[in-house]
Amino acid sequence: MKPNTPKGSGLQSVQIYDTTLRDGTQREGISLTVADKMRIAQCLDGLGIAFIEGGWPGSNPKDVDFFERARDLQWTHASLAAFGSTCRVGAAPEDDPQVQALLGAGTPVCTIFGKTWLLHVTEVLRTTADENLRLIEDTVRALRAHGRRVVYDAEHFFDGYRSDALYALETLRAAVRGGAEVVVLCDTNGGSLPWQVEEAVQAVDKTLGHPIGIHAHDDTGCAVANSLAAVRAGARHVQGTLNGYGERCGNANLCVIVPNLELKLGLRAVADGALSRLSHASHVVAEVANLAPDEHMGYVGHSAFAHKGGVHVAAIRRSPRAYEHVDPALVGNRTRVVVSELSGRGNLLAKAEEHGLEVAEGAEAAVLSDLKELEASGFSFEAADASVTLMLQRKSAGYVPPFELIDYKVMVGQRGRPDSDGATTFSEATIKIRVKGELRHTAADGSGPVGALDAALRKALRSAYPEVDRIHLEDYKVRILDGSAGTGAKTRVLIDSCDGTEHWTTVGASQNILEASWYALADGIEYGLTLKARPRTGEGS
């Protein structure tokens, strides 16, 4: 078998089974409302995911409500699946409330899990090996008798296979006899390694002669690798979650698996044209789950195609293939150039091109020198593209800044005794700037010294630049760079700004926190006031 050539690749398709709404919600810190689940499900359907597991209808009212609402939706690509287990020991499926709840969900697909590992059969279920086989076969058959397609998840398959391969295979045969359309080999503890998975899947494929799937957890950091190993060995059904959400260390990450299947193994995994929406889907799910996106995730992360080293940037300016394994646009991402003290001239030239700036010949070398000196003094430009753009813009022919600082003064005080009910603190800033050749001197109050300085600057600019009111400060971050220096420590300030359409970040650094804040604040306002005048070839900073 050639490297990267999956067994049976002529089939050219893999069924993707998403369990974000069930297994994914078992991650600590995730709690989805029914509305959240509906939004994610529709996003998954838009990608062309084959199966969407909506939840476990026998476990909680929220999942019951989800399935009720889901009946009223038109699903373009996906088949909705309800999840549950085999019937109870000693009971018939028709007498088991949990099995009846599965049927009551009204989904075209039912997914059930059963025991593969004799340790679980004897110590957890506390029953016999033969009774466990009956539970599997009878439950699958009962669901099939009601017209449901059945996906059978063989829980702890790889542990069970290593312990007693013959019995593990018998549990799969029981599911096949009952009518399961696919048997899914689950690495439930997440402890298997890729070569173990590939060997076991090859053996099952050869022995069983039935469609096989893989369900991997990431406890060894190998869930994606294990899933791909299973596909190479013959599996054509892959279960996972968007962003790899899941219990403990998470599930196999479909945001990495899907592009690997399509772009590396040449297999169809999602709908035609849907791969380019993968980055967007990843961020939508993170937003709905109220989790920060993993910016360094393969393919879809903000940094997946970011280039910082000067040698790398110089190379990709000549040929993107030099340091990018695929075209970022294929997964809805883009190339980014990060500017820092590790940058070369190419980083700055790329940034100038992105923002449509015509920099005088050789000016980028001067900016690079200034940037490296500033970084040595505490500035950091990796997350502050807007400050870099301004440094380049100021080197552009004919650039006139919208304002020039003459001086400022900030006062912070308190009225009344600190322990009295009427005690109040106040901040007042006065600022003197030159705007279009005119000297302006204003003062303003604020809830804090930076707020007062911001208000005074805007007050001085408003008559000449009324658009300043559209610029809002969204976030203010402070980092102490050398805590051992005590009150003399150098401080770095990052300010996130927005004009309702675009977002940008600026930076300042100084031993004086107000001076650091001024650098970031003034750059943020200047960037916003000159934003519309720049022809941009890339996205917002």
Residue type, 229: A
Stretch 418-446: mean pLDDT: 87
List, in sequence order, every residue forming a beta bridge with 479; answer none if it has no partner.
492
- Which tens digit of pLDDT belongs to each residue from 322-377? 878 999 999 999 877 766 555 555 565 665 566 566 666 666 666 667 667 776 77
Q: Which of the 8 DSSP states describes residue 540? A: -
The encoded tokens of residue 362 equal 């050789």
Residue 536 has pLDDT above 60, yes or no: no
User: What's residue 502's pLDDT?
Assistant: 86
- Give the span between the Cα atoms of 345 and 214, in whole angstroms: 47
What's the angle, vertex CA 284, arms to CA 283 and CA 286, rounded to 5? 60
| Backbone φ, ψ for residue 146 (5° rounding) | -95, 15
- Give the span between the Cα atoms of 302 and 338, in whole angstroms: 11
The encoded tokens of residue 307 equal 């280039």
Mean pLDDT over each residue of the chain, to the nearest integer: 87
- Residue from 249, 190, 223, 214 nearest 27 by CA: 249
Domains annotated on the chain, with CATH: 9-288 (3.20.20.70), 306-393 (no CATH), 403-463 (3.30.160)
What totals of helices (H) and strands (E) does the chain contain, helices first?
17, 16
List, in sequence order, every residue forming a beta bridge with 504; answer none if it has no partner.
497
Residue 534 has pLDDT above 60, yes or no: no
Q: Which has the higher per-residue pLDDT, 486 or 188?
A: 188
* Burial per residue of 373-397, b for 16 or more beta-carbon CB atoms within 10 angstroms, e otherwise: ebbeebbbbbbbbbbbbbbbbebee
Max Cα separation, the chain? 92
Which residues make Cβ contacts (< 8 Å) with residue 40, sequence separation at least 6? 20, 21, 32, 242, 284, 285, 288
- Which tens digit of pLDDT belongs to each residue from 288-306? 998 988 989 999 998 898 7
Which residues make Cβ contacts (< 8 Å) with residue 123, sequence separation at least 6? none
User: What's residue 447's pLDDT?
Assistant: 84
Confidence of residue 69 (pLDDT cuts 50, 70, 90): very high
The pTM (predicted TM-score) of the whole model is 0.74
Confidence of residue 47 (pLDDT cuts 50, 70, 90): very high
Helix ranges, 84-164 (H): 97-104, 118-119, 129-145, 157-163
- Give the span between the Cα atoms of 69 and 51, in whole angstroms: 17
User: What's residue 383's pLDDT?
Assistant: 63
Report how far apart, in Å, the C-alpha atoms of 318 and of each of 388, 394, 440, 493 are: 22, 26, 48, 35
- Give the span between the Cα atoms of 5 and 234, in whole angstroms: 11
The DSSP element (H or E) to which 176 belongs, if any, is helix 165-178
493 neighbors 476 (Cβ within 8 angstroms): yes
- 134 CB-contact burial (10 Å; exposed 0-12 / middle 13-18 / buried 19+): middle
Residue 104 has pLDDT above 70, yes or no: yes
Torsion of CA 523, 528, 533, 536, to 10 degrees: 90
- Residue from 60, 21, 24 nearest 37 by CA: 21
322-331 contact pairs (CB < 8 A, 24+) = 326/259, 326/263, 326/299, 328/304, 329/276, 330/259, 330/263, 330/275, 330/276, 331/259, 331/275, 331/276, 331/278, 331/279, 331/299, 331/300
Residue type, 114: G
- 524 CB-contact burial (10 Å; exposed 0-12 / middle 13-18 / buried 19+): buried
The encoded tokens of residue 508 equal 């300042």
Which residues make Cβ contacts (< 8 Å) with residue 153, sequence separation at least 6? 111, 112, 113, 114, 184, 186, 215, 239
Q: Which has the higher per-residue pLDDT, 343 or 80?
A: 80
Residue 11 has pLDDT above 50, yes or no: no
What's the angle, vertex CA 318, arms to CA 312 and CA 324, rounded to 5? 50
User: What's residue 413's pLDDT?
Assistant: 86
Stretch 89-97: mean pLDDT: 95
For the chain, report the end-to-end CA distance as a whole number of angstroms: 46
255 neighbors 304 (Cβ within 8 angstroms): no
- Give the span between the Cα atoms of 522 and 512, in whole angstroms: 16
Q: Which of the 8 DSSP states describes residue 425? A: E
